[in-house]
Amino acid sequence: MIIDLHIHTLIGSHCSIIEIRDLIIQVKRLKLDGICITDHNNTAGIWPTKKLGEEEGIKVFGGIEVRTREGDVIVFSKDIDTIKVPVGIVDLISWVQEREGVIIPVHPFRRGVPSLDNRLYEIPGFDAIEILNGNCTQEMNILAWLASLKLKIPGTGGSDAHTLKQVGKYATMFDVQIETEEELIKAIKSGNYQAVRWT
Contact with Zn ion (CB under 5 A) among 4, 127, 160, 181: 160
When CB distances to Zn ion are compared, the closest residue is 72
Fill in the amino acid letter for 99.
R
Binding mask 118-157 for Zn ion (x = CB under 5 A): ----------------------------------------
Cβ distance to Zn ion smaller for residue 40 or 189: 40
| Closer by beta carbon to Zn ion, 160 or else 181 | 160
- For 60, phi and psi rounded to 5 degrees? -120, 125
Q: Strand ranges (DSSP E) for 63-198?
A: 64-67, 72-76, 102-105, 129-133, 155-158, 170-174, 193-197
Q: Does 72 bind Zn ion (CB under 5 A)?
A: yes
State the minimum distance, in angstroms, from the CB of residue 141 to Zn ion.
Answer: 14
Q: How far is CA 61 from CA 53, 121, 179, in A?
A: 10, 29, 9
| In the chain, alpha helices (H) | 20-29, 46-56, 89-98, 138-151, 181-190
Nearer CB in complex with Zn ion: 4/127: 4
Q: Interface with Zn ion by CB under 5 A: which residues?
A: 65, 72, 160
